[in-house]
Amino acid sequence: MDGILNINKPAGKTSYGVIAMVRRLTGERHAGHAGTLDPEATGVLPVCLGKGTRVVEFMMEAHKVYRADIELGVSTDTYDGEGKVTARGDATLITGEMLETALEGFRGDIRQVPPMYSALKHQGQPLYELARAGTIIERESRPVTIYGLSLLDWQSPLVTLEIECSKGTYIRSLAHDLGEKLGCGAYMKTLVRTGYGVFNIGNAVTLEQLAEAAGKGDMANYLQPIDSVLSHLPSLTVDAAGEEAIKTGSPPAIETNNIPEASQKYCRAYSADGRFLAILHFNTEENIWRPKKVFV
C-alpha cells in the first residue's frame, strides 16, 4: 500500500501506537507518521505507507492547526494536565481585554522555549527522561511562527484558542507562557489537531473505521495519493523518453516552456498520461533538474 492515511488519533494512544496498529491492519511494514502528537492529544495524524514514507520530509513544513483548551490559574511541570501542579494563581481578575492584549504578543514570529517534558534530546537522551529523573536542562529558545491565533471561547478560567503555526511549535509552551504573561499561571488542558497541510479533521478516519474497512477489504478508500501532500511544489510533464530517464535516475529532457523556476529547488514530475513519477531537485552546478525521489 503506497499512500497516506489521514488518521484521527484518539486520546490515550501514542503516535507510535497508532503506527503499530496501522501496520497490523494494512500488513504494510513501511509506515511512519509526520508530526508526533502527545498521547492525550487527539486529531489529525498523517500516516505514510509504503513509498509514501519517502515524502515525510516534504510534509514537515506544512502549517498545523490546533484547538486548545487552556486553564488559567494552575501551572504544571509538564505544561499539560498530565503533570504535577507546581503553582496556583488567581485567575478571577483576568478580563477578556487582558486576555486579548496578552495574546497579541504571541502572534507572528516569536521565540519559544521547548518544555522539559518533550522528546527533544540532550546529549542523545530525551529531555523527558532527564525530567523524570529530576534533572532540569537549560533549553535555548527557538524561532517559531504563529500564523493565526484566535480566541474561540472564554469562560473563566477556561480559554479556548485556535492556533495555526509552523513546525516545531509547542502548544503546551504557548499555554504556559500565556499564564506567565497574565501573572496567574496556566496549563494546556486539552489539545486537538484539526489541520495538517492538506489534511483536516473533517475527513480524518478513526482507527475503528480503519479496522472495519480492513475487515471488508476496502481500506484503500481511505488512502490518499502520495503527491496529494506535494501540491505546494511546481509540476512538469515529461514524454516517454523523459520517463525512461527518470526511471534510471538520469535528468529528463524538459521543454523550455515547461521548466519550473530554479529557485523552487524541487518539483513534481508526471508522465504524459498523468502518472506521478518523481520529485526532481534542481542541481545548481549542472543547471539541470535531477531525480531526487523516484516513484516508478
Q: Give the residue range(s) of CATH 2.30.130.10 domains in the chain.
A: 233-294
In this prediction, residue 278 has a pLDDT band, given cuts at 50, 70 and 90, of very high
Q: Which residues pair with 45 in a beta bridge?
A: 7
> What is residue 49's three-state secondary structure?
strand
What CATH superfamily classification does 64-193 receive? Pseudouridine synthase (3.30.2350.10)
Distance from C-alpha of 194 to C-alpha of 14, rounded to nearest angstrom: 17
- Nearest residue to 146 (alpha-carbon basis) of 104, 203, 190, 201: 104
Tens-digit pLDDT profile for residues 33-89: 988 898 899 999 999 999 999 999 999 889 999 999 999 999 999 999 988 999 999
pLDDT 10s digits, 237-261: 999 999 999 999 999 988 877 788 8
Is 218 noted as a catalytic residue in this protein? no
Domain with CATH 3.30.2350.10 in the chain: 3-62+198-228, 64-193
pTM of this structure = 0.91
Q: Are 210 and 223 in contact (CB under 8 A)?
A: no
Q: Which residue, 121, 168, 172, is CA-closest to 143?
A: 168
User: Span 3-62+198-228: which CATH code?
Assistant: 3.30.2350.10
Residue 157 confidence (pLDDT) above 90: yes
CATH number of 233-294: 2.30.130.10
**Tens digit of pLDDT for each residue in 19-41?**
999 999 999 999 999 888 988 99
Candidates 2, 38, 153, 227; catalytic one:
38
**Tens digits of per-residue pLDDT, 215-235?**
998 888 999 999 999 999 999
Give the span between the Cα atoms of 238 and 248, in whole angstroms: 14
